[in-house]
Structure 1
């Protein structure tokens, strides 16, 4: 190792952000291991790299003792004083023992350490870049498939789209560019592991924020999301400005904003509902597109009974209960949907019970 080697390390410091001292400390530690491995030394030793010239030397270290038990680790006080009269018991005496043919091993070891540290630094850079982006959308390219996982290329690294995070019925083709939501970034020995999703409700939220300027500006607020990925979603929005229609802002001119999101999600239907602090009005709106006649609420239990016209019952419940299920998720209320005729029967039975009790 020489001055040119030190200059190369300084260039690496500028390019990769790895401090020269950190690299030299790591090289010294690696050289010490190489020395012990190749020369079978059981002595205490130290490797030092001169920071100005790049020269390296190996030193053995022995403790000064009055009575020596192991000459490989200890040195007699009288003998130590022959080297330097100032030595006292407990001091460390260093003796240079640099092997003649250690240069080749040192060069090879230094190269391995530098390469390893560069890889670690690059992994840390990628990790730091993406760990701060959890909860955001990124655009990547479908790179390859491992079993059922889809590997998405994100510049210098790859993200993993697991089967549970893939949208039902969605095909991923090699080279296709798709938007994904960063769920989690893990630090592993092989580098950062970035877990992404196409089914997370956060993906829908971020897509709306990209399309709707009023959401970015904070004029419109997205209050709640309920999503069944690939099929249907509902979002509740609220405007801080009375002059801004939150639903209209999210739909966009001629429906273009919401249509762009639907296209990105391969046809997933999205219902946009105006949030209301009044639970009965919010629950009624959440069952859109069904028309609601009345809502009864029990605040403590967070239960709402919704009455709809007979011809609207199947629409309110939805296919396989999907509309009612999403409305319940959106509002966080348990929703019991009854048709008008069902409620008439219930009222009739309740009235009958009242009359019976009066007769008694």
Structure 2
């Protein structure tokens, strides 16, 4: 080793961010291991690399004792004081034992240590870079597909899209550009493993944040997301600025913003709902595109009953209950959907719900949304919940 070697380590420190001192300490430890393996396995020793010249020396270490039991590990006080009168019992005496042919071994060992440390440093840098981006969106290129796992190239590393996180019936081809949501970053012996998802609701949220400047600026808030990947999603948005239409901002001019997201998700339908602090109005809006006659709420149990016209019942429930299921996820409420005729059967004496043929999810009638009918027994209600 020489000064050129030290200069090379200095360049590595600047390029890779690995401290020269850390590298030298690792090389010393590796050289000591190599020395013991080849020359003195039963001997205490120390390897030192000169920080100025790059030269290295091996020193044997023996402890000063009154009675010597092993000359390779111990030295008598009398013999130690011949070397230096200041030695006392318990001190350690060192003498150089650098082998003549140790240069080749040291060069190979140093190379191995440096390469290993560079690899570890790069892995740590990648881990730190992506562990801070959990719950964020990444864009990469599909590198290969193995055993249904899709591997996405992200520069110096790759992400794994497992089958459970893939959108049903979505095709993945090598070379395609793809966006995904970082679910987890694990530190393993083989380096960081980045797991991503195409089905996570967070992906939809991040896509809207990329497309809608008002979300980035905080003018519009995305309150909640409900998603059944590949089929349909609902998002609830809100703005404190009365002059800003949160739904319109997310839809974009001629629907361009939401269409870009639909295209990214291969045609997944997206309902954009205006969030409302009034639970009854929010629940009614969440069932869009179905029109709602009225809503009853039980605040303590977070249970809501929604009344819809007979011809809107199947639309409100959705195919295989999808619309009602997404509305429940979006609002966090248990929702029971009843048609007007079903309510008439429950209350043969009649009831007077407010219903406007022109009503829609954005302009529900302000009066009559709550306490339209006498509350039934909750146990009976729960048996009918969606």
What residue in structure 2 maps to residue 144 of structure 1? 144
What residue in structure 1 maps to residue 309 of structure 2? 309
Q: How does 1:339-350 map to 2 (within 5 A)?
A: 339-348=339-348
What residue in structure 2 maps to residue 284 of structure 1? 284
Q: How does 1:197-212 map to 2 (within 5 A)?
A: 197-212=197-212
What residue in structure 2 maps to residue 118 of structure 1? 118
What residue in structure 1 maps to residue 99 of structure 2? 99
Question: For residues 257 and 109 of structure 1, what CA distance do their matches in structure 2 show?
Answer: 58
Q: Which runs of 5+ in 2 are unaligned?
A: 352-373, 375-386
State the shift of 1:95 in Å: 1.2
What residue in structure 2 maps to residue 358 of structure 1? none
What residue in structure 1 maps to residue 65 of structure 2? 65
Residue 67 to residue 346, structure 1, CA distance change in 2 (3 Å): same
Q: TM-score, normalised by structure 2?
A: 0.90
Question: For residues 335 and 135 of structure 2, what CA distance do their matches in structure 1 show?
Answer: 30
Secondary structure of 2:311's counterpart equals helix
State the shift of 1:131 in Å: 1.2
Question: For residues 294 and 15 of structure 1, what CA distance do their matches in structure 2 show?
Answer: 66
Question: For residues 349 and 154 of structure 1, what CA distance do their matches in structure 2 show?
Answer: 67
Q: How does 1:1-360 map to 2 (within 5 A)?
A: 1-348=1-348
State the shift of 1:334 in Å: 0.4
How many residue pairs align between the two structures? 352
Question: For residues 208 and 320 of structure 2, what CA distance do their matches in structure 1 show?
Answer: 27
Question: For residues 297 and 17 of structure 2, what CA distance do their matches in structure 1 show?
Answer: 61
Question: For residues 53 and 245 of structure 1, what CA distance do their matches in structure 2 show?
Answer: 70
Q: Deviations over 1:254-295 (max 9, x none)?
A: 000000000000000000000000010000000000000010
Question: For residues 338 and 101 of structure 1, what CA distance do their matches in structure 2 show?
Answer: 91
Question: For residues 297 and 12 of structure 1, what CA distance do their matches in structure 2 show?
Answer: 66
Q: Which runs of 5+ in 1 are unaligned?
A: 355-360
Q: Deviations over 1:48-74 (max 9, x none)?
A: 001111111111111101111222111
Question: For residues 117 and 57 of structure 2, what CA distance do their matches in structure 1 show?
Answer: 22
State the shift of 1:188 in Å: 1.2
Question: For residues 176 and 235 of structure 1, what CA distance do their matches in structure 2 show?
Answer: 28
Secondary structure of 1:174's counterpart equals coil
What residue in structure 1 maps to residue 368 of structure 2? none
Question: For residues 38 and 322 of structure 1, what CA distance do their matches in structure 2 show?
Answer: 71
State the shift of 1:336 in Å: 0.3
Q: Deviations over 1:114-145 (max 9, x none)?
A: 00011111111111111111111111000012
Q: TM-score, normalised by structure 1?
A: 0.96
Question: For residues 258 and 7 of structure 2, what CA distance do their matches in structure 1 show?
Answer: 56
Question: For residues 237 and 8 of structure 1, what CA distance do their matches in structure 2 show?
Answer: 56
State the shift of 1:350 in Å: 9.3
Secondary structure of 2:348's counterpart equals helix
Question: For residues 333 and 86 of structure 2, what CA distance do their matches in structure 1 show?
Answer: 84
Question: For residues 349 and 173 of structure 1, what CA distance do their matches in structure 2 show?
Answer: 62
Greater percentage in helix: 1
**Residues 344 and 350 of structure 2 are in contact (CA less than 8 Å); yes or no, is this contact kept in structure 1?**
no
State the shift of 1:29 in Å: 0.2
Question: For residues 36 and 267 of structure 1, what CA distance do their matches in structure 2 show?
Answer: 66
Q: Deviations over 1:62-89 (max 9, x none)?
A: 1101111222111100000111111111
Secondary structure of 1:247's counterpart equals helix
State the shift of 1:214 in Å: 0.6
